[in-house]
Amino acid sequence: MAMAGRGLILLAVLFACRSEDPVSRTRSRVLMGSYVTITASGADAAVEKAFARLQDINRRFNFRDSTGPLYGFNLRDEPFADAEIAGVIRTALEVGAATGGAFDITVQPLVELWGFYTGGSDPPDPAALDSTLALVGMDKVAVSGDSVLKPVPGLRLDLGGIAKGHALAEAARVLRTAGIHSALVDAGGDIYALGRRQDGREWRIGVRHPRGEGIVAVIPVADRAVVTSGDYERAFTAEDGTVYCHIIDPRLGRPARALASVTVVAADPVRADAWATGLFVLGPDEGLALVEATDDIEALFVTPELEMRQSSGLAGILAREEIP
C-alpha cells in the first residue's frame, strides 16, 4: 500500500487519549502508506516481531509490489495460492454481501479512472465510466480453498479497504502470543486497543473532526478496533468546484457523498475496516439501520452538515464533543 493510499494524511484519524505511563513505550514505522505506531509495556522483541509481521503483510497485500501475488494477478491475469489472502478475501466477500455491494474489493479500475492515484482533476467520460463498471463487482471474485482465481480477464483487486484491519489483527495476535495484554496499535488512524491500559481503565479513542482541528467524540474501548473512513482522506476539486473523495460507490461508479466520516467499533479489526468503507458508501440512514441489525458492529456517522448519529450500542459510552 503506497503512500498515496488511505493513510496518506499523517495526522491520525483517531488518537488515543491516555495518561502518561512510565513503563509504556511507543515505537513507529512507515508501513502500509502511513505511520504505524505500537504503544506497549516492555517486551521490545515482541513489538519488533509485530512490526516484522506487518512488513510481510504490507508486501503481500500491496497490489503495487512486484514481489507480491496481487501484482501478477492484476497485471498478468495470474491466479495464485495464498491461504492468508484467500481468508481475507472471504471476509471481504461476506461484508460485500452484507452491505449489498457497498464494500467491494474490485473497485481499483474505478479509483484509477477517477484519477485518485494521480491527483484527479475532473469526473471521467460517461462512456469510459460505463465500460469500467463492467469490470467491477464482487460476483467476479472467485476463491477456491487457498487459491484466488480470475474468471474474468481484466478483474483487478485492491485490498486496501480491508488489509489494515488484517494487519491490526495480526499485530495484536503477535503481541498476545508474546504475553503482552495491554497495547495500542495504530495503523494510520485505524486502531486496535489490546486489553486495557496499565491502570486498568479502558483506552479512550478520539474521533477526528472531519472539517477542522480537534475531535467530535471520545470512545472508550478494550479489545476492540476503532476504524474511520472519511471524505477528507484523499480528494480532489473539479473545475466546477465539486469536491470528490476517493471512496467510490461501486454500484454507481461515483464517489460517495452522503457522509463526512463514519467510525466503526468492532471486536474484529478485519470486519471493522471493511464495514467502515461499506457504511460510508451506504450513508447515515441505510447504514445505521444495517448496523442496528448486525451483531458486533457499532458506528458513529458524521454527515457533511456535521450532524452526528450513533448506533444504540454506543449510547451511554460515547462522549460527544461540541462541533464548532
| Phi and psi, residue 282, nearest 5° | -70, -30
Residue 234's pLDDT is 78
Residue 212's pLDDT is 83
Q: Does 273 belong to an annotated binding site?
A: yes
Q: What are the sequence ranges of the domains in the chain? A: 14-320
Task: Put the strands of the sheet holding 319-320 in their side by side order.
Answer: 14-17, 203-208, 215-221, 319-320
Residues of the chain with pLDDT under 70: 1-23, 320-324
Q: Is 138 helix (H, G, I), strand (E, B) or coil?
A: helix
* Whole-number Å distance between alpha carbons of 91 and 274: 9
DSSP secondary structure letters along 282-300:
H-HHHHHHHHHTSTT-EEE
Residue 6's pLDDT is 35
Torsion on CA atoms 35, 41, 47, 48, rounded to nearest 10: 100
Per the CB < 8 A criterion, the answer to whether 69 and 60 are in contact is yes
CA angle 136, 191, 218 (to 5 degrees): 115
Q: Is 83 helix (H, G, I), strand (E, B) or coil?
A: helix
| Phi and psi, residue 174, nearest 5° | -60, -45
Residue 319's pLDDT is 73
Does the domain spanning 14-320 belong to CATH 3.10.520.10? Answer: yes
CA angle 150, 154, 157 (to 5 degrees): 65
* pLDDT 10s digits, 48-102: 999 999 999 999 999 999 999 999 999 998 999 999 999 999 999 999 999 999 9
Per the CB < 8 A criterion, the answer to whether 246 and 234 are in contact is yes
Q: Does 277 belong to an annotated binding site?
A: yes
Residue 10's pLDDT is 27
Nearest in space to 73 (alpha carbons), one of 161, 143, 24: 143
* Whole-number Å distance between alpha carbons of 298 and 315: 10
Beta strands in the chain (DSSP E): 14-17, 24-31, 34-41, 80-81, 142-144, 147-149, 182-187, 190-195, 203-208, 215-221, 224-230, 235-237, 243-245, 248-249, 254-255, 261-266, 298-302, 308-310, 319-320
DSSP secondary structure letters along 20-45:
--TTEEEEEEEETTEEEEEEEES-HH
Radius of gyration of the chain (CA): 19
Residue 52's pLDDT is 97
322: which residues sit within 8 A by CB, 6+ positions away? none
